[in-house]
Amino acid sequence: MMRAVGAALAVAAAVSGCRSEPPAPVPEYLFAQNLGEAEIRSDGFDLPFLIASGVFRWPSWQDPAADQGAPMVWSLTEDAALPLPIATAAPKVLTLRARCHPELGPRLPLRLTLGERVVAQLELTPVDQEIQLTLPTEAQPEGGSTLWFRVPRRFVPPPGERDLQPAAVGITRLDLSRVGSVAARSLPAREGEALVLPPASGLAYFLRLGPGARATLRATAARPARLEARLETAGSALDLPPRELRPGVGTRVEWPLSVPAGSYTRLEIRNPGDASVRLEAAGVVGLDPIGTRPLPSARLGQRPSIVIFLTDTLRADRLSSYGFEKPTSPHLDALAREAVVFEEMWAQSSWTRPTVASLFTGLHPATHGAVGFERPLLGRFTTLAEALKGAGYHTGAVVSNHVVHHRFGFAQGFEEWNEGEAKLYGLSAPEVVERGLRFVDRTPGPFLLYLHTMEPHATYEPSAEAYRRFAPGLPRRASRPILMQPTLSPEEADYLDALYQGEVWDNDRALGTFLDGLRQRGRLDSTLFLFTADHGEEFLDHGAKGHGQSLYRELIRVPLVIRLPGSERGGTREPAPVAQVDVLPTLLALLGVEAPRTEGRDLSALWLGRARPVGLPVFVSETRFGKAEKQALRVGDLKLILNHDPRRYGQGGGPAELYDVARDPLETRNLATRERVAAGWLERRLRALLESLRRHAAKGPAEQVEITEEDREALRALGYVN
């Protein structure tokens, strides 16, 4: 009897198990929560959607603007390309409102081409006119089409009026819809934690996948529907098995995403039919993590004094200790034999104010906000000097660069700043060193000393001895007139580079004087000495000169040399990439001082040789300098640069530049077009990271410091303004 009951229970359990679904895996990446990162395709959209999608890009288009309160975009070239993110090849109606630039005359011929097929030939006037066209199925390749606006000429501004942007066709309306549809917009939308895919729409996510990754979701539709998916990696695309949906029945869907671990992928999910589809618990399981795992904190056995010797505008690859063929840095070379040399130090920007602020707060420019000539370092952020002052350190600074003037918030936490003399900005490196040693002499206890020298910042005027060493046989010319030229010849760039190397050598000699002074006073071995730079300098490496206007390696790879107390780990070279935001949390951890909230990593165990980072390092950099606006992200060996100002400074061939810094350290081969999926992933990751950083930024209007005539004169002396 008992055996019969047991058998019946077993059968019931088996039947119940057949009827019930196993529990759905919980996605690590939810599509609904990350809808803002998706690439959306649809058969129904309008001009505001296209603007938000970022398809209007240089060199074809100006930045979108407003015309009488409505959005408007001007083309810049005779052949302006506009990608249309269509979902299917069904016949569509395109409604366009456009005009020609008034400087081009009363009538301008316009030929509209979809791919290679001419869909309209008409004439524009300076007054808006509305055009309606039917786009045939055969002109619409699956996955999107490019609509070309072709005119015989464009407006070119007169000489001397460079701020006038050339233009040709102005668009004030663009609606696309399926033939027979009344809706101009038919876009995927979030409803709570679910996604709704309207008819003829789809969305794609750029992902970095780990082993065993899979997409998972539950789909429902009111009418019969079909769900399609495609997985794209570098050089290949795979259509995943489609899923047929029955009306009113929830269907569990799983697609294995079988790619090598660490692959950059584009996963597209499409609803090609005529019924809306609702996706619940939709996402991906098995992402490949990015970032490095936190290291354990490590403390020094003492609380040494701290010296930060920061050399302005010093690119790492012009130092002999970093492999430069000329002996530009003999004293730093000697220090390196007693120190840890970090071979890959990433700067958070390419000019002084944001980088020094990042160094002293452990925060990115997007957070601390010190990103413009009028923008100070806000008092709401705790600096290294404030943290160490609170821990009993005496804090002092001798700073030669006016850009980090005490009026702009950089003196907070320093008990002594330039010995109380505002006129010290512009001191030579030997003078900075002399005053720094005076500070050491009157400070018996542990101290923080920040020295900021200006050689080799432009203008480049090395000493006579340095000139003989690095520009032998060349007639000496002042650097300022050459620097003020709008362009340089390769010969002029080489001459400026030689002067720059001479100033590197002059600065190195001052560094040697300071180190000798510490050693003679018996203070060197009780000091943690940190040598670094704020950013680098460019000599036509990527077509420009100076700094601030780009984010290439010559500008954001800077030296970092750490001499630990007693020369611990002397002679070590550390290849693990580090960043300026890592300095504050690491120093405070080594000293056992509580750190404020930072965005850097505590690398104290790495500095002391007790542990190494595991995982992919992630570094962010940005610059807003004059008219330049750029952002960069490095994940592992891939580096993406986004140009938001390419009309003026873009040298990489487009709005996005992608480099493999392991195989192409000089960043000469832009892979953004060839490695479209990896570039798409990095771009979305960069935007998400910057958005996350800005959530912690100061709320309300940005604080500004009034620029005085003294400030303007200092900026002119630095070559920043004319």
Q: What is the pLDDT of residues 119-139, one digit of tens each?
A: 899 999 999 999 999 888 877
CATH topology of domain 305-717: Alkaline Phosphatase, subunit A (3.40.720)
Residue of 12 and 102 predicted with greater confidence: 102
Exposed/middle/buried for residue 392 (C-beta within 10 Å: 0-12, 13-18, 19+): exposed
pLDDT range class, residue 12, cuts 50, 70, 90: very low
Band (405; pLDDT cuts 50, 70, 90) = confident
**Summary mean pLDDT of the chain:** 89
Q: Is 392 left (phi over 0), alpha (psi -120 to 50) or beta?
A: left
- Strands 340-346 and 572-574, bridge-based pairing: parallel
Q: What is the pLDDT of residues 29-58, one digit of tens each?
A: 999 999 999 999 999 999 999 999 888 887
Q: Which of 9-18, 225-234, 388-397, 677-686 has the lowest mean pLDDT?
A: 9-18
pLDDT greater than 90 at residue 541: yes
508-529 pLDDT tens trace: 999 999 999 999 999 999 999 9
Question: What's domain 21-34+197-289's architecture?
Answer: Sandwich (2.60)
Share of the chain above pLDDT 90, in %: 70
* Model pLDDT, residue 150: 95
253 phi and psi, to 5 degrees? -125, 135
10 pLDDT more than 90: no
- Average pLDDT over every residue of 314-343: 97
Distance CA 226, CA 194 (A): 18
Residue 714 has pLDDT above 60, yes or no: no
Residue 156 has pLDDT above 70, yes or no: yes
Residue 89's pLDDT is: 84
Q: How confident is the model at residue 70 (pLDDT cuts 50, 70, 90)?
A: confident
Residue 703 reports pLDDT greater than 80: no
pLDDT greater than 70 at residue 7: no
Q: What is the pLDDT of residue 1?
A: 35
Domains 21-34+197-289 and 305-717 share a fold: no
Rg (CA), the chain: 30
Q: 354-358, 465-469, 703-707: which range is least confident on average?
A: 703-707
pLDDT band at residue 433 under the 50/70/90 scheme:
very high
What own/partner pairs with CB < 8 Å and gap ≥ 24 does 54-57 have?
55/82, 55/83, 55/85, 56/82, 57/654, 57/655
d(CA 641, CA 683): 9
pLDDT at 248 over 80: yes
Average pLDDT over residues 605-612: 96
Output 422 or 721, whichever has higher pLDDT: 422
- Which has more confidence, 409 or 515? 515
Q: How far is CA 592 from CA 110, 358, 526, in A?
A: 69, 21, 16
Cα dist from 717 to 401, 406, 479, 509, 714, whole Å:
11, 18, 12, 24, 5
Q: Is the pLDDT of residue 6 over 70?
A: no
Return the bridge partners of 659, or none.
639
Cα–Cα nearest to 702, from 339, 318, 368, 355: 368
Got the DSSP string for 420-484? G-GGGTT--HHHHHHHHHHHHHT--S-EEEEEEE-TTSSS----HHHHHHHSTTSPP--HHHHHT
**pLDDT value for 54:** 86
Domain ranges of the chain: 21-34+197-289, 39-178, 305-717
Phi–psi pair at 630, nearest 5 degrees: -140, 155
225-244 pLDDT, tens digit per residue, is 999 999 999 888 999 999 99
d(CA 567, CA 340): 9
At the top level of CATH, which class does the domain 39-178 belong to?
A: mainly beta
**What pLDDT, on a 0 to 100 scale, did the predictor assign at position 426?**
84
What is d(CA 46, CA 62) in angstroms, rounded to the nearest whole number?
A: 18
What is the rounded average pLDDT of the residues 356-376? 91
What confidence category does residue 653 fall into, taking pLDDT thresholds of 50, 70 and 90? Answer: low
Smallest CA-to-CA distance from 251 within 292, 228, 221 is with: 221
Q: What is the pLDDT of residues 573-605, one digit of tens each?
A: 999 999 999 999 999 999 999 999 999 999 999
pLDDT at 138: 79
